[in-house]
Structure formats: C-alpha cells, structure tokens
A and B are shown apart, each in its own frame.
Chain A
Amino acid sequence: MLSVSNLEVVYDDVVLVLRGLSLDVPAGSIVAVLGANGAGKTTLLRAVTGLLGPHRGRITKGTVRLDGEDITGADPAKIVRRGIAQVLEGRRVFAEITVDENLKAGAYTRRSRAEVKESYARVLDLFPVLAQRRKSIAGYLSGGEQQMLAIGRALMASPRLLLLDEPSLGLAPRLVEQVRDIIVQINQQGTSVLLIEQNAVMALAIANSGYVLENGKVVKDGPAADLLADEDIREFYLGSGERRSFADVKSYRRRKRWSA
C-alpha cells in the first residue's frame, strides 16, 4: 500500500536525517518502526504526510508511493484526502475547543455529511470515553483520553492508512494495553497501520512486521516474531538478555553495529 524508497530528508539544507530509507506497508497490515531518539522515525512520518515544510525540512531524494501513485512532497491536504491520516507525537489535540469540535476538525477534508456521521458513530463506538465527554473542552481530558481523542480525530478522515507516532507516550501500563487493543481493532476494521513506538514489546506484539532505524537508515527488518526473537533487539529494546560489565559493553559497542 505505502511504499517508501531510498528516502533522503534534509533539515535546514544541512542536517541529513534520513539517508536512503526504504520501507513497505502492505495493505491490511500493522508495521512497527523502532529506533532510538533521533533515528528519524518522526521525520519519516513527516515526509510521508507532507509536514516537513513547517520544520524547514525537504525531501532531497527518493519517493513515497501510495498504491503506486507518487505522492512525494505533495500538499498535506491532498495526502489526507488520498487516505493517509497521522496522529502526531504528543497527542496535539486542539485543547481550547470541545471533543466534538476536535472530531469535526478531523473530518475537514470530507464532503459527504452522511459518511462523516458514519465515521463519527464509529469513533464514538471505538472510544466510549469520548462519547461520555463530547461537550467538554479537550484540554480538560486526561492524557489517556486525549490520546484516544487524537486517534479518533485521525479516524474521522476515514483513512486507509493510519500513521501513529508513539501513541503510548506517557501513558500508564493499563492504558498502553488499551491503546494497543484499539490499534488492533482499527486494523481489523480494514485500516493499515504504521506504528512508531519506543515501547517495542507492545509494538512487536501486534505488528505483522517491523523495521529498526538507526541514524536515518533501516538496519534491520523482518516479521515481528523474528524481531522479537532477535538477540540484539532483545538487548537494546526489550532490556532482557544477560548483563555485561561496563568494560565489556565499551568494547562491544565498538565492534558491534546493526549493519554488520
């Protein structure tokens, strides 16, 4: 469905953040992207949805295709209309207006009222918490509710592909489970998902396949089960594996690289 190939993104004409990144999201799947801070995960999403502009970023090489159609560097509004919706990192709900108005803003690109109504019903069905608090100001919701609202708002555009940027950020473990289940549910309803996460256990548990980014490149990819079993991933992301002494880690670091 989404296919990114050899993508190169530069900020401010100097900072090279993505260095030839390629990735595929097959229709109907959940794809997880893991990586440390600064690996280029959020930049990848911005490049896909056309949001590099406000950050003075630019795609210098490579292409982004949606169902074979080239959408590299297209207008954000056009990309949303083509069926890609993004949940920004840190929720970013419109705190000054009501939950209902937030959802309405999410449906801005859609023309048919009947369809919008249908999406609205679907979102409230998916998030009973929001149904109870439709008239309250979004800024007064709890962090978990705001995350639900951010996802619900993105769903109001009725996307075929949903991009999630760290939906578990700052949530209690119980809520992380809830968000995870909701992602699965959304996927089962026919929306493909590209999930960016620091919480590797959660992400790989529900994903079909995964990619590991480092310094703007894909250094490892494969089916989620393989990644979960991978020794390096277990060590770096899941915190398991045997502990080594500091001296060992130092030499280990120099020798061992993902790409090796």
Chain B
Amino acid sequence: MTAFLQNCFAGLALGSTYALVALGFVVIFKSTGVINFAQGGLLALGAYLGYTFSNNLLLGFGVAILLACLAAALVGAGFERIVLRRMVGQPPFAVIMITIGLLFILEPVITAIWGFDNLQVRNPWNINTVELGGLVFGVKDLWTIGLTTAVVIGFFAFFKYSPLGLAMRVTAFDPEAALAQGISARRVYAVSWAIAAALAALAGIAMAAGPGGLSPSIGFIALAAFPAMIVGGMDSPGGAVLGGLVIGLAEALTRGYQDQLFSWAGDNVSIIVPYILMIVILLIRPYGLLGTKDVRRV
C-alpha cells in the first residue's frame, strides 16, 4: 500500500508538469487553431533563464521563477508578434511548420549560450524530503504539485471571470463575431502565446530543480505532454489538466511496478506508456476525454 501511494505521489508530481505543458498546448490551439511544437523549446528556454537568474544573478529562487516565466512570456508574445501575426488567415499547417522551425532554432541557441553540460539550478528544494506516515515526499514534488494547483486555479479564474479571458473564449468560438465586438484578435493571440510560454517555463524550472538537473534534453518532456493534451481533448483546458495527471500517474505506476509486472518488457517501458494510453483512449474517444466532439480545425 505504501509503495502504491508513493508511486501515486510521484505520478501526481510528474503529471502536474505534464498538465502545465499540456495547458500551454491547449491555450494556443484553442485560440489560434495551431499546435505549437515549440512548446518544448520554450520550456527549455524558461528553465535555462531560471538557471541564469538563480545561479548567475543570485536572485532568490521565487524571484527567479517569476522572472523566468515573465521572460519566456515575452519571448512567446514577441514571436507571435513578429512572425506568426503575418500568418493569420494562412493554413494552420504552414503555421505549425513555423513552430517546428522555432523549436529547431531555440535548441542550438540554448546550447550556444549555456552549453551541453548538465547544470544544477541553485534552489531550496533540491533532493530534500519530508516524511509523513511512512511516506516520503520530495520537497520539490510537493512544490510542483502546489504551484501547479495554484496556477491552474488562477488560470481558470482568469479564463472564466476576466474580460480578457472572456475575449479569448469568444475569439476561439467565433473570431469574426469577436472582432465585430471590438475584441482585438491580435491581442488575444499574443496573450495566448505569452500564457503558454509562461506555463512551459514554470514546468521547465520545476523539472530542472529536481535531482535530474538541467540539460538541453529537458525539452523532450513536451513530447510526453503531447499525449496528455490529446488524451484530455485538444480544445479543453480542463482536459489538459486531467490528461496530464492521467498520463503522469500511468507513467509513474508503470515505472513503480515494472520490476514485478513488466520485467519482460525491459527497463524503459514507462516511457512508452503515455503513447499507448493515448492510442487506446483515442480509439475509444477520438476527441479525447473532455474534448468537443466536433473539433473543427485540425
């Protein structure tokens, strides 16, 4: 039982990270109809910026997180402003290719600045643990879950109650009618990119603060969050969070019981579990767990 709970906790922590990234995917997809493949690059950029703020500028870790998120948001919004705005009204496919291009540009830029070495972010969490009732909780995992919860609640409140959140929802539903109300689609697109980039940066720093440290391959986690977005439903923010948690739990539980149940499948079976789960769920519900049945723009 202890082992099971321990695994579930690990799954929730991992799932929180997935949820943040998947939420970023959904925000951009919902408002612009484009899947942003550069999410992993933005995540890595955010993590490395956090490293610079924390290690080189010796800022407090909380401040470093905040600044890294802001900086990533600026990069995201700036990219939208400079490149993607010219692509409004063009086929989504072309825009998706541009985001892939951005991913491949971000990676070498990051390694050129910070190098290939594995870096350790100066942070108060590290590998500290708290023990409670026989269970061992990583401080970093607790913070990841806590921060994700707070950010997700904040995000949904913003989406539901603020005028800008309302503008984002109606623009996603009917861009022309939104335009006729005087809602600036440009601002909505820029804000979507800023939010997605900030979420990715937060996920990146949370990961980098863990025992794994920070290396250029950190962006690959976005690939695992991708199934989370699909599982949840591409146009559903709630689905992204749910999908992230489901995928995280599945991955952690597989890893935890791999010795006993899946020893024949080799050590890395947990890595493919998200994709297997994605395929199975898509076979049963092609539009994802909470997605709209009729997703118009794919």
Interface residues of A (CB under 8 A from B): 49, 51, 53-54, 56, 75-77, 79-81, 85-86, 88, 92-97, 101, 104-106, 108-109, 153-154, 157
Spell out B's residues near A (CB within 8 Å): 89, 163, 166-167, 169-170, 173-184
In contact, B163 and A54 (Cβ under 8 angstroms): no
Say how far A56's CB is from chain B's closest CB, in angstroms.
Answer: 7
A75-B184, A76-B179, A79-B182 given; 4 more Cβ-contact pairs under 8 Å: A76-B184, A77-B182, A88-B180, A104-B163
With a CB–CB cut-off of 8 A, which chain B residues contact A93?
177
Q: How far is the CA of A59 from the CA of B41 in the complex (A)?
A: 40
Whole-angstrom CA separation of A225 from B179 in the bound complex: 36
Known: A94-B170, A97-B169. A54 touches B182 (CB 8 A): no
Given contacts A101-B166, A104-B163, contact A94 B182 (CB under 8 A): no
In the complex, how many angstroms separate the beta carbon of B113 from the nearest chain A beta carbon?
38
Q: Are the CB atoms of A157 and B181 closer together than 8 Å?
A: yes
A residues near B163, Cβ cutoff 8 Å: 104, 108
CB-CB under 8 A from A94, the residues of chain B are 169-170, 173-174, 177-178
Residues of B within 8 A of A49 (CB): 180
Are B167 and A105 in touch, CB under 8 angstroms? yes
Bound CA span A85–B166, Å: 19
Residue from the list B89, B176, B183 in contact with A105, Cβ < 8 A: B183
Taking a contact as CB atoms under 8 Å apart, the answer to whether A109 and B176 are in contact is no
Q: Closest approach, in angstroms, between the C-beta of B277 and any C-beta of chain A?
A: 28
**CA separation between A97 and B174, bound complex, in Å?**
12
CB neighbours of B174 from chain A (8 A):
92, 94
Q: Which residues of A contact B176 (CB under 8 A)?
A: 51, 54, 88, 92
Q: Are A76 and B182 in contact (CB under 8 A)?
A: yes
A86: contacting residue among B166, B170, B180, CB under 8 A: B180
In the complex, what residue of chain A is closest to B160 when comparing beta carbons?
A101
A51/B180 contact (C-beta < 8 A), A56-B89, A105-B170 known: yes
Q: Are B181 and A108 in contact (CB under 8 A)?
A: yes
Residues of A within 8 A of B166 (CB): 97, 101, 104-105, 108
B181-A153 in contact (CB<8A): yes
| Chain B residues within 8 Å of A81, by CB | 182
| Shortest distance between the CB of A124 and any CB in chain B (Å) | 18
A98 to B273, CA, bound (A): 39
Min C-beta distance of A76 to chain B, whole Å? 5
Residues of B within 8 A of A157 (CB): 181-182
- B182: A residues at CB distance < 8 A: 76-77, 79-81, 108-109, 157
Q: How far is the CB of B97 from chain A (nearest CB, A)?
A: 21
Contact residues in B for A108 (Cβ distance below 8 Å): 163, 166-167, 181-183
Complex Cα–Cα for A86 and B181 (A): 8
Q: Nearest-CB distance from A113 to chain B (Å)?
A: 11
- Closest Cβ neighbor of B178 among chain A residues: A105
CB < 8 Å: which of B89, B167, B177 contacts A92? B177
7 A-B pairs with C-beta separation under 8 A? A75-B184, A76-B184, A93-B177, A97-B170, A104-B163, A108-B181, A154-B181
**Which of B167, B175, B181, B183: most chain A Cβ within 10 A?**
B181
Report how far A190 CA is from B262 CA in the complex, Å.
Answer: 75
| A229 vs chain B, min Cβ distance (A) | 35
In Å, the complex CA distance between A76 and B169 comes to 18
Residues of chain B contacted by A101 (CB below 8 angstroms): 166
| Contacting pair B177 A88 (CB below 8 A) | yes
